[in-house]
Structure 1
Amino acid sequence: MAPVPAPFSLTDTDRARLTDRARRRRRRRETSVAWGFVSPSVLVILGLSVVPVVWSLLLSFRADDLVTPSRWVGLDNYRALAQDPHFGQAVRNTLLFTALYVPLSICLGLLLAMVLNRRIRLVGLYRTLVFVPFVVSATAQGVLFSFILDPEFGAANSVLHKLGVSPQGFLTDPGQALPALLVISLWSGTGFCVVVYLAALQDVPASLVEAARLDGAGRWNLLRHVTLPTLTPVTVFLVLWQIINSLQVFDLVYVTTKGGPLGSTTVIVYFVWEQAFKNFTAGYGAAAAYVLALALLVVGVGTRLARRRPGARAEGVAR
């Protein structure tokens, strides 16, 4: 009679190997499913972001009118920008707009946030009214203020006339157009700063404020030594956000002034659009766009380094 074979048994090593294989197969299946869900977004990002960025970078080294075959010109577009007075004026207008818009929007946002952080009647309504202009599109803002600031039939000059002030050109006056755009941008952009500061003010530790008051700190000292230092990370974020927005302003300029009068409101992004789609010098416009991109990169890196520096100093002191 033949002997009965012993039942098959797995060693601990075999069990571990099979478990590891099953785990790897499950991980591969999960990865495949994840890529299946993510792939549409990846394709959209590649098609609308990465590919245009690379294409425009190559375009900046070519003479291209978007119609006839282009030719390679190397750095000629960038050299021409350095000598172009119109581009220089666009840079000056953009820097002036940014230098005024960023600190004013930050300060007004903080001031309004501190006012609206109190327990007052209908505070929710006031907060909503402050934030509503931010969600209005720049195109709608431009159309609205084009009517309000119209030199002949606008409501602004009607009010000034009743006050005995002579009519103003506003958006049609080279000396007033950029300040008028600044006021419109402050009206719409300050609301974002208010909302962010409101959220940050409500996170200021009450125990810290109470301790400062017990030590005899007044409102000014409380603001200077407690509130503002606590809001530093939020302020850094808002400064960077507002700088980027002000350097990229376009819609409002396009709707209201078309870069005029006499180029007084031509900013860098409008200059890029004008060169690429009005003058059909796409390579030249792409070069201007990359000058702006480089400026934004410098601002972002510089802000990040400036934010890290106080922490590094504090760590060095602690050591």
Structure 2
Amino acid sequence: MATATHPDTSQPTGFIRRNRQKLAPWLFLAPGLLFFLFYVIAPIFQSFQISFYQWDGLGAKEWVGMQNYQELVTDRAFEVSLWNNLKWLLMYLLAIPAGLGIALFLNQTVTGIRLYKSLFFFPFVISQVVVGLVFTWFYDPTFGLLNTILESVGLSPINVLGDPKLATYGIIAAGLWPQIAYCMILYLTGLNAVDPEQIEAARLDGAKGLRMLWHVVLPQLAPATFIAFVVTIIGALRSFDLISIMTNGGPFGSTRVLSFYMFEKALSEYGFRMGYGAAISVVLFLIMLFFIAYFLWSMWRQEKGR
């Protein structure tokens, strides 16, 4: 006698049921990805598009092709802004070794280390606006602490923010203060993940001091170093708030950087040259993309060689 066969219902049916473990992470990521696409990726392509137009932000757009980019080549203010960005980039990189040195010091077991950590951590938690105001008062030629110190040692006072040759470096010094604190936090986190067994093995082999740091500690801090480089480069290239607070681009436009010049052209001048401002933003984006892509490629090559 033939028996009736029933379909096997022990396995889940339907695409979602079969792939729910694979789909679950994407469902959690979906809101963040949508926000990222809408607020980051889409504006990037929109900036590229607007850079080929002459537009005041309200009326009709007029196609001008590469005219905005051709004007950048002969724009003296753009040249000054670009060179200032390079100064920011080179000097901001000092935050990485400085942050590493402070992190190595704070990683020791000494009396009052929590107080020292709090003092070094403090610049990171305060606003850039507050940093700009503090350093503006510090540099003030009449009552600033800097000139008080210079006069106490017999030197003549200087007007840092009023001198076109010194103003950019004065603002960079103000920006380095919180940036060093940020790099310090990254390296302190990385030092907590350093393998103590490798440290002990290196000590048994006679490694200490700089040899220990270079051959044992720094290779394990490579992820923290990569993040520090990327964040520092992005911070240097998108510098805006300190310049706006401390000099507003002066004196005589000597402290402009690309992000500030983009703001001036797109939103602060009569006529509102959105297309020209977008062209400046595209140049700034490509510079950032070059450096970040280089570090990503270097990290990939290093990981591949292991």
Q: TM above 0.5, one fold? A: yes
Matches within 5 A, 1:102-141: 102=93, 104-141=94-131
With over 3 angstroms needed to count, the CA separation of the structure-2 counterparts of 1:46 and 1:101, relative to structure 1, is closer
Structure having the larger proportion of residues in helix? 1
Counterpart residue number, 1:95: 86
Counterpart residue number, 1:84: 75
1:235 equivalent to 2:221? Answer: no
Counterpart residue number, 2:189: 199
For the residues of structure 2 that align with 1:237 and 1:252, how far apart are their CA atoms? 23
Quote how far apart the aligned CAs of 1:162 are.
Answer: 2.6
Counterpart residue number, 1:211: 201
1:15 corresponds, among 8, 13, 31, to 8
Counterpart residue number, 2:241: 251
For the residues of structure 1 that align with 2:96 and 2:19, how far apart are their CA atoms? 49
With over 3 angstroms needed to count, the CA separation of the structure-2 counterparts of 1:35 and 1:109, relative to structure 1, is closer
Q: Deviations over 1:233-256 (max 9, x none)?
A: 321221121111111111111111
Unmatched runs of 5 consecutive residues or more in structure 1: 1-5
2:43 corresponds, among 52, 67, 79, to 52
Residue identity over aligned pairs, in percent, reads: 34
Secondary structure, aligned partner of 2:161: helix
TM-score of the pair, normalised by structure 1: 0.85
Aligned residue identity for 2:208: G
For the residues of structure 1 that align with 2:273 and 2:192, how far apart are their CA atoms? 51
Aligned residue identity for 2:215: H
1:272 equivalent to 2:265? Answer: no
Aligned residue identity for 2:275: G
Q: Deviations over 1:97-137 (max 9, x none)?
A: 111111x1011101111111100112122112111111211
1:182 corresponds, among 137, 157, 172, to 172
Matches within 5 A, 1:55-70: 55-70=46-61
With over 3 angstroms needed to count, the CA separation of the structure-2 counterparts of 1:39 and 1:254, relative to structure 1, is same
With over 3 angstroms needed to count, the CA separation of the structure-2 counterparts of 1:206 and 1:38, relative to structure 1, is closer
Q: Deviations over 1:27-76 (max 9, x none)?
A: 79999999998876666545533443333222111001123322011111
For the residues of structure 1 that align with 2:228 and 2:60, how far apart are their CA atoms? 44
Quote how far apart the aligned CAs of 1:146 are.
Answer: 1.4
Quote how far apart the aligned CAs of 1:15 are.
Answer: 3.3
Bigger CA radius of gyration? 1
Quote how far apart the aligned CAs of 1:311 are.
Answer: 3.6
With over 3 angstroms needed to count, the CA separation of the structure-2 counterparts of 1:218 and 1:49, relative to structure 1, is closer
Aligned residue identity for 2:291: V
* Segment of structure 1 superposing worse, 178-187 or 303-312: 303-312
Secondary structure, aligned partner of 2:135: helix
For the residues of structure 2 that align with 1:176 and 1:70, how far apart are their CA atoms? 41
With over 3 angstroms needed to count, the CA separation of the structure-2 counterparts of 1:43 and 1:238, relative to structure 1, is closer
Count of residues paired in the alignment: 304
Matches within 5 A, 1:279-318: 279=269, 280-312=272-304, 314-315=305-306
With over 3 angstroms needed to count, the CA separation of the structure-2 counterparts of 1:26 and 1:83, relative to structure 1, is same
With over 3 angstroms needed to count, the CA separation of the structure-2 counterparts of 1:192 and 1:26, relative to structure 1, is same
Unmatched runs of 5 consecutive residues or more in structure 2: none
Secondary structure, aligned partner of 1:188: helix
For the residues of structure 1 that align with 2:124 and 2:285, how far apart are their CA atoms? 25
Q: Deviations over 1:280-313 (max 9, x none)?
A: 111000011011111111111111111222344x
TM-score of the pair, normalised by structure 2: 0.88
With over 3 angstroms needed to count, the CA separation of the structure-2 counterparts of 1:182 and 1:205, relative to structure 1, is same
With over 3 angstroms needed to count, the CA separation of the structure-2 counterparts of 1:148 and 1:290, relative to structure 1, is same
For the residues of structure 2 that align with 1:149 and 1:250, how far apart are their CA atoms? 19
For the residues of structure 1 that align with 2:15 and 2:128, how far apart are their CA atoms? 52
Aligned residue identity for 1:81: L
